Structure 1
């Protein structure tokens, strides 16, 4: 497909960089040209299909750095997963992937599933069999016996088991290795959310083995000690990073300095349901937790957007809801958009082909009514979504 899309402005990124009266030429799965409308018109082939949005904005496709397609966002997603056979679970994951695409998410990093189903879904989408965003799959997260998300099949005990699980995940087609450095609230009877599940030495082993296979490591870490261990081990991203200790929170400046020095990205995985969290736990506790995110940003930590979609209340159509937390915290809108595009791509190691509108990059882009740099609500006014050059409209490819 060749398509020339023009709009009132093109948000090329980063830092809110825009081209007024701009256009993007798409050829197949890639961006062929970006520039002013006149510049792109000059290089467009004769008879190219066109779409014009004079009051709209073209911007890079959104990236959700933290989802769980195997979970259904119900009050008991673990129970639902354990009751489902692989076929019904895979069908549910496919539907949830389409929900992400329908709100403009063109890349999603799935950080834990059962049986490598995210790899099967990823490959079906890439082959054009199913609609959905580009998926980066973690397969089964590493966790100790009975640890957080043990039911996904990634239990390990001892160094050899750690090595074997990393290798098995890589052989199964994983794009990233996920390790549960601390406990989590989703696992009944498991370690407390703030408790460490692996030693620093064990996490280093995970990182070494993963990097040997060419894969990055994402560490689930709520507890301060677990965060410190993950950073010392050299993981690529820290997920949640809520600085919990027994009975409260403890933010450590030395660990933050190490995060920054090692250029480790943090994905707070802000639930689209964050307002309900504030209502449930009280304004003071919520502001304390949310304030940590502001504090990390002020220190210079590289933050990226993710929703933890799939856990209770974190719906797959709520990506913009999650971005609104950062607006609530006072982040400028250009930085918020970078967190969901160019900076997210950098964190995931895919910035050489997505996250910006650049000739030669994947044709991952959106068109929205209005200007998201002035009002994030514009992201809800979707007019067009392209993922890898495939045009998405109401659940099907549209013909132009």
Structure 2
């Protein structure tokens, strides 16, 4: 089915690119043309259905590169969240995960990466969507994250305490049909009695064993790493993305490592802050010097050439699946240009997930993942929340 979408402007994806009075021509699941309205109209066969959005902007569907579909963001606290995930049946949890994925899609997120589930259920939800049995965004699934016994997110079922155990768990995840491997290189915040966020859970040699086994199976690795040592070891071991990348050395101490940041930039290792729309509340509660340590790492890394990608840790208490726009406003607060932020949420994040030739920009031959919003998000990122139309691989989202 041919579809012509026209609006005041089209933002193809890369920062600085804008087509005024623009158009996107879609044929089935693919984009066939992007450009000035007059030129694209000339390519559209007679009878092509046209939708014009006055005062609106067309841009690629957004990418949320860090969510947890198995987590219930309405949980009262972390303990309640953990209990729900542990006790829910596979059927009920899978249904809830599909509902959360659809909420993300309706908000304009056409691609998301699930960064840790139970039993590979995100891959099952992905397959339901791909087969047309359910509606939702494109899902990149990592399966249950590897952790140490009693470690961060042990309750998701992928604890390993030896080299052999690490290899076996990577293979088990591969058998679940995952797209990537996730490892908890450091501790975290939601698991009672587990190592603190700044403490390494695996040493460099163990991470190398994990990455080597994953690469043997054709799977890239995403490393959850708050601690400076864990970041350094994960980068050296060959992780593709560093999640959180907080550079912590203690409860309220940070030591950013310029040499590791330079290595990340040189090798194309991306950093995902995984920061939700709650950033305002957090900043208000922290002393100014601590807030700078926590959030100042993002412009600091960008200045050193580290490619930043967008994720929200959706599923944690208070972090919904349908407000990537609210999370992106953090970067505007930190001084990032709106065009740069939009590029991070589309082009850069798609490339980090290995989908740079599939989605993340509006260009002929790419999948028709299209978002239309009222207003101009370059002037006000809040426009991203005012959705007119979402296409996911060419299909209109209700």
Tell me which interval the TM-score lies in, with the shorter structure as reference length. Answer: over 0.9
1:311 alignment counterpart: 316
Q: Does residue 386 of structure 1 match 2:388?
A: no
Asked if 2 retains the 8 angstrom alpha-carbon contact of 1:265 and 1:301, the reply is yes
Which shows bigger deviation, 296-305 or 284-293? 284-293
1:22 Cα deviation after fit: 1.0
Q: Does residue 357 of structure 1 match 2:372?
A: no
SS of the aligned residue for 2:319 comes to coil
Counterpart CA distance in 1 for 2:122 and 2:335 is 35
Out of 287, 291, 311, the residue aligned to residue 286 of structure 1 is 291
1:131 alignment counterpart: 135
CA RMSD after TM alignment = 1.1
Asked if 1 retains the 8 angstrom alpha-carbon contact of 2:326 and 2:382, the reply is no
Counterpart CA distance in 2 for 1:253 and 1:283 is 23
Asked if 1 retains the 8 angstrom alpha-carbon contact of 2:126 and 2:138, the reply is yes
Q: Does residue 267 of structure 1 match 2:244?
A: no
Counterpart CA distance in 2 for 1:64 and 1:342 is 12
Counterpart CA distance in 2 for 1:132 and 1:322 is 21
TM-score by length of 1: 0.96
Asked if 2 retains the 8 angstrom alpha-carbon contact of 1:234 and 1:262, the reply is no
TM-score by length of 2: 0.97
SS of the aligned residue for 2:397 comes to strand
1:382 Cα deviation after fit: 0.7
1:16 Cα deviation after fit: 2.8
Which shows bigger deviation, 359-368 or 69-78? 69-78
Out of 86, 90, 93, the residue aligned to residue 89 of structure 1 is 93
1:280 Cα deviation after fit: 3.3
SS of the aligned residue for 1:5 comes to strand
1:390 Cα deviation after fit: 1.1
SS of the aligned residue for 1:189 comes to coil
Which shows bigger deviation, 53-62 or 270-279? 270-279
2:185 alignment counterpart: 181
SS of the aligned residue for 1:186 comes to coil
1:95 Cα deviation after fit: 1.1
1:398 alignment counterpart: none
Counterpart CA distance in 1 for 2:88 and 2:338 is 40
Asked if 2 retains the 8 angstrom alpha-carbon contact of 1:342 and 1:351, the reply is yes
Query: Matches of residues 221-236 of structure 1 in structure 2 within 5 Å?
Result: 221-236=225-240
Which shows bigger deviation, 273-282 or 287-296? 273-282
Query: Matches of residues 198-237 of structure 1 in structure 2 within 5 Å?
Result: 198-237=202-241
Counterpart CA distance in 2 for 1:279 and 1:313 is 16
1:150 Cα deviation after fit: 0.6
1:164 alignment counterpart: 168
Q: Does residue 64 of structure 1 match 2:69?
A: no
Which shows bigger deviation, 177-186 or 288-297? 288-297
Q: Does residue 370 of structure 1 match 2:375?
A: yes
